[in-house]
């Protein structure tokens, strides 16, 4: 595994929703942090005067974190979101802790349990399925 797990994310910096890895057990569990700031571009329009991190971006942060558990050299896309729940808004100044456990896989599909929390309180959770290609291509799922 690369010494910097974040370097494995294929996302450009402008679309990366993982700032730091706190803990990682390859193929099993990963814990990451995302610092939400007033300077985040997506908060400028969501919503002016009352910025909230969009729920879809919380799911993206969980999916990116899950992707860190995949084997080196693999490429993945989000294939399914199950039982997503949003418990409270995430606002500038919050530090989101994302915890993901790999539940299993079958062929090119890998299933994960993901939870996002702020100050120990759950803000979002979901079960995610990533479709994986071992050769780095995303056109053969």
Which domains, from first to last, does the chain contain?
Answer: 5-133 (3.10.129.10)
Is 140 a residue whose pLDDT tops 60?
no
**pLDDT value of residue 138:** 43
**pLDDT value of residue 110:** 96
Torsion of CA 74, 78, 80, 86, to 10 degrees: 130
Query: Is 46 a catalytic site residue?
Result: yes
Instruction: Specify the pTM.
Output: 0.91
Among the options 11, 42, 46, 110, which is catalytic? 46
**pLDDT value of residue 134:** 59
Please give the DSSP secondary-structure letter assigned to residue 23. Answer: E
**pLDDT value of residue 29:** 98
Q: What is the pLDDT of residues 55-108, one digit of tens each?
A: 999 999 999 999 999 988 888 999 999 999 999 999 999 999 999 999 999 999
When pLDDT is averaged across residues 113-136 and rounded to a whole number, the result is 91
């Amino acid at each position: 595994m690369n010494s910097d797990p974040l370097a494995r994310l294929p996302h450009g910096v402008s679309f990366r929703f993982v700032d730091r890895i706190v803990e990682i057990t390859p193929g099993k569990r990963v814990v990451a942090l995302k610092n939400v700031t007033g300077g985040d571009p997506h908060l400028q329009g969501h919503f002016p005067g009352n910025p909230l991190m969009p729920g879809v971006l919380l799911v993206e942060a969980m999916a990116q974190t899950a992707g860190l558990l995949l084997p080196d050299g693999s490429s993945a896309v989000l294939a399914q979101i199950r039982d997503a729940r949003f418990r409270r808004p995430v606002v500038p100044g919050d530090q989101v802790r994302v915890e993901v456990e790999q539940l299993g896989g079958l062929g090119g599909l890998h299933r994960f349990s993901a939870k996002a929390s702020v100050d120990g309180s759950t803000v979002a959770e979901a079960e995610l399925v990533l479709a994986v290609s071992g050769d780095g291509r995303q056109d053969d799922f």
